[in-house]
Structure 1
């Protein structure tokens, strides 16, 4: 397990124990705890605790800087619309995999739909599409299928 996984697991466990789904931590304390640079904490925040994953992260830098993570509870339709609107023009395969995994985990998509959509946007299914166009085709497919799920 890598350092990012350890940090993310610690934060997730702390968030699960926190009242009202809000966790406030000191960036420097976390960096010292995991013997890493503060930018590693920033990386974990941006990749593991994004709005697409159901979190709002507020940050204040400086000596008394903190990170506040809030778990957002939204209904299925709102979550799907947020993901559709945040997809953009291009989605790489690892991002598509993470987004779909989060949607299945949150209950916004059934496991069968998530698996089918992942197969549809995978590199095997997009084999006839030139590599430089796959991420934009992947985004278009994901948006259209997710719109049907709303």
Structure 2
């Protein structure tokens, strides 16, 4: 049986697929009631599984009529993909964010499984056995270089 986080994630992804705009607005408390969990569980799912690196834009409005809006970002052209990469990576990137970005590019069909696995091996903390922040800076440079080479076919 799947855990609650997986069920919430799948529910939100299904809602996004069915949305003609590719975006959904949810009330955190209503979703928590539906899955019989605490609202912080909804926050956890959104903050860990619907990140920019994984191809989602999340906005929240607090207050009485507050909502959380999740939008799937579609990368179409090589230019928009490279812009997305430069915006996401910048001068340094941690391992979790970099793996999320690689996952997003693979999920979108922009890189193969083999390419994704090679990239993950090259940028892992085991391979880059350095102290922070140098490790995250080197990871960013390697990741940018590999992705630009792969995506500029």
How would you bin the TM-score normalised by the shorter chain?
Answer: 0.7 to 0.9
Q: Which residue of 2 aligns with 1:113?
A: 115
Provide Cα deviations, 1:59-116, integer angstroms capped at 9, x if missing partner: 2222222222222223142123212322133323232222211110111222222121
Q: Report the 3-state secondary structure (helix = DSSP H, G, I; strand = E; otherwise coil) of the residue aligned with 1:108.
A: coil
TM-score (norm 2): 0.81
Q: Which residue of 2 aligns with 1:27?
A: 28
Instruction: For 1:134 and 1:35, locate their aligned partners in 2 and report how far apart those are by CA, in whole Å.
Output: 41
Q: Which residue of 2 aligns with 1:94?
A: 96
Q: Report the 3-state secondary structure (helix = DSSP H, G, I; strand = E; otherwise coil) of the residue aligned with 2:102.
A: helix
Q: Which residue of 2 aligns with 1:59?
A: 60
Aligned to 1:82, which of 67, 81, 84? 84
Are 2:146 and 1:145 aligned?
yes
- Richer in helix (by share): 1
Q: Which residue of 2 aligns with 1:7?
A: 8
Contact in 1 for aligned 2:53/2:97 (Cα 8 Å) = no
Are 2:130 and 1:130 aligned?
yes
Q: Report the 3-state secondary structure (helix = DSSP H, G, I; strand = E; otherwise coil) of the residue aligned with 1:52.
A: coil
Contact in 2 for aligned 1:84/1:147 (Cα 8 Å) = no
Could you tell me which runs of 5 or more consecutive residues in structure 2 were left unpaired when the two chains were aligned.
none
Contact in 2 for aligned 1:22/1:69 (Cα 8 Å) = yes
Instruction: For 2:3 and 2:62, locate their aligned partners in 1 and report how far apart those are by CA, in whole Å.
Output: 25
Could you tell me which runs of 5 or more consecutive residues in structure 1 were left unpaired when the two chains were aligned.
none
Instruction: For 1:115 and 1:76, locate their aligned partners in 2 and report how far apart those are by CA, in whole Å.
Output: 23
Alpha-carbon shift at residue 14 of structure 1 (Å):
1.6
* CA separation of 1:123 and 1:59: change in aligned 2, threshold 3 A: closer
TM-score (norm 1): 0.82
Alignment RMSD, CA only?
2.1
